[in-house]
């Protein structure tokens, strides 16, 4: 298996450059890019400053891993990222004002959430629980808004921990469609031109990387195959694309009716930030949904 790390020193510059180019190329998406751009930038800064995996080094059973036991499934406590709740109040002070400015319709709820965190009405552990999908109640904040904000708060810490854990398995084989680190489902794929002698991942036009919707880890997978059900029949696989943007597409499957967005970066001189690339493919996501396909995993804006 080959993987790619989510963070580089140039990550923030890549985000800003990709946003600027996308806004010029697709004016109709400018409001969406303007809303999510500052959020992506703050997330990048938080990720760079996050502590990463600080506990004892995990011992990976290579045989279990190759059979599908992802990294966090092999921890003594049975899976899960390290507790980052102590860092969330400070992260909220940086992130929530940006979110309130980007999403004016949610500003009142985000202010109520910030006050609940500051006053202690919402303990950090409960905030972390909400970020991982638990139902938590905060006065003046809808369940949907709390889930969205909490998920964005925990994401930088999850992604940073995943970076450290990725080093443990980067040279081990992984042929599953779930994330090798946390077991999450992919919400995007990227085709990149890289040489590899493995027959399993060799294909004309570039190697395919699936991208985890939970921790943003990327891992190689068969290029012509549905990540949802494994279908490889040409009649079962559908590609949706806009001729004006041939490097973007939605890979859909008629067998399981799922789809995943795909950025074909093989011929691009500059590869955009994956989150920005996914934003620019919103029209393809809408088209796929209208044609009866469902995403393998949601993007942050899907709930909005």
- Residue identified by tokens 């969406």 is 32
- Residues with Cβ within 8 Å of 201's Cβ and at least 6 positions away in sequence, in order, are 2, 207, 208, 220, 221, 222, 223
Same domain, 211 and 159: no
What are the structure tokens assigned to 292, written together? 């009866």
Q: Is 10 a domain residue?
A: no
pTM (2 decimals)? 0.89
Is 273 a domain residue? yes
Express the helix, strand and coil content of the chain in percent, nearest 5 each: 45, 15, 45
The region, left, alpha or beta by phi > 0 then psi within -120 to 50, assigned to residue 200 is alpha
Mean pLDDT lowest for which of 201-210, 239-248, 265-274?
Answer: 201-210
Q: pLDDT, tens digit, for every residue of 194-240?
A: 655 554 444 455 789 999 999 999 999 998 999 999 999 999 999 99
- Beta-bridge partners for 190: 209, 263
**Residues contacting residue 233 through CB under 8 Å, at least 6 positions apart:** 255
Overall average pLDDT of the 258-272 stretch: 89
Q: pLDDT > 90: what percent of the chain?
A: 78
Does residue 267 surpass a pLDDT of 90?
no
Domain CATH number, residue 296 = 3.90.1670.10
pLDDT in tens, 150-162: 999 999 999 999 9
> Is 48 a residue whose pLDDT tops 60?
yes
**pLDDT tier at 11, thresholds 50, 70, 90:** confident
Q: What is the mean pLDDT of the chain?
A: 90
Range of the domain at 104: 27-166
pLDDT for 199: 45
SS3 165: helix
Helix (H) or strand (E) holding 220, with range, is strand 218-221
Q: Are 232 and 224 in contact (CB under 8 A)?
A: yes
Per residue in 88-145, pLDDT tens?
A: 999 999 999 999 999 999 999 999 999 999 999 999 999 999 999 999 999 999 999 9
Is residue 77 domain-resident?
yes
Structural domains counted in the chain:
2
**Is residue 12 situated within a structural domain?**
no
Decide: 98 and 42 in contact? Cβ < 8 Å: yes
pLDDT at residue number 2: 63
54/161 same-domain check: yes
Question: Half-sphere exposure of residue 14, counting CA atoms within 13 Å on the CB side?
Answer: 16
For position 57, what pLDDT does the model report?
Answer: 83
As a residue count, the chain comes to: 304
Task: Say whether both 96 and 190 belong to one domain.
Answer: no
Asked, for residue 54, whether it belongs to a domain, the answer is yes
Q: What is the mean pLDDT of residues 58-87?
A: 88
Residue 252 · residue 237 · CB < 8 Å: yes
Residue carrying the six token digits 């109709």: 28
pLDDT at residue 7 is higher than 60 = no
The answer to whether residue 289 scores a pLDDT higher than 70 is yes
pLDDT cut 70: percent of the chain above it: 91
Tokens read off for 107 = 């500003």
On whether both 243 and 294 belong to a single domain, the answer is yes
Specify the 3-state DSSP secondary structure of 247: coil
Instruction: Decide: 263 and 274 in contact? Cβ < 8 Å.
Output: yes
Q: Is residue 180 part of a domain?
A: no
Where are the alpha helices (H) located in the chain, listed in sequence order? 11-25, 30-49, 62-66, 88-102, 107-119, 124-131, 143-166, 274-280, 282-290
């Amino acid at each position: 298996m080959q993987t790619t790390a989510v963070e580089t020193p140039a990550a923030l510059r890549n985000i800003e450059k990709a946003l600027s180019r996308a806004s010029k190329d697709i004016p109709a998406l400018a409001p969406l890019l303007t809303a999510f751009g500052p959020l992506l930038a703050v997330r990048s800064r938080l990720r760079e400053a996050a502590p990463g995996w600080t506990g004892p080094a995990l011992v990976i059973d290579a045989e279990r891993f190759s059979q599908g036991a992802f990294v966090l499934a092999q921890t003594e406590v049975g899976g899960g990222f390290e507790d980052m709740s102590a860092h969330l109040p400070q992260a909220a002070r940086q992130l929530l004002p940006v979110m309130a400015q980007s999403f004016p319709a949610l500003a009142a709820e985000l202010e109520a959430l910030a006050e609940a965190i500051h006053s202690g009405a919402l303990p950090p552990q409960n905030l972390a629980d909400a970020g991982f999908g638990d139902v938590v109640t905060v006065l003046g904040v809808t369940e949907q808004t709390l889930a969205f904000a909490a998920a964005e708060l925990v994401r930088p810490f999850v992604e940073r921990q995943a970076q450290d854990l990725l080093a443990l398995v980067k040279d081990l084989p992984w042929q599953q469609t779930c994330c090798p680190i946390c077991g999450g489902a992919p919400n995007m794929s990227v085709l990149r031109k890289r040489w590899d002698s493995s027959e399993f991942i060799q294909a004309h036009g570039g190697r395919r990387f699936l991208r985890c919707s939970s921790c943003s880890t990327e891992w190689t997978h068969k290029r012509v195959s549905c990540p949802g059900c494994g279908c490889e029949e040409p009649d079962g696989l559908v590609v949706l694309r806009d001729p004006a943007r041939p490097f973007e597409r939605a890979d859909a499957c008629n067998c399981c009716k799922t789809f995943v967005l795909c950025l074909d970066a093989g011929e691009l001189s500059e590869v955009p930030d994956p989150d920005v690339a996914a934003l620019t493919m919103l029209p393809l996501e809408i088209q796929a949904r209208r044609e009866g396909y469902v995403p393998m995993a949601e993007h942050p804006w899907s709930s909005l």
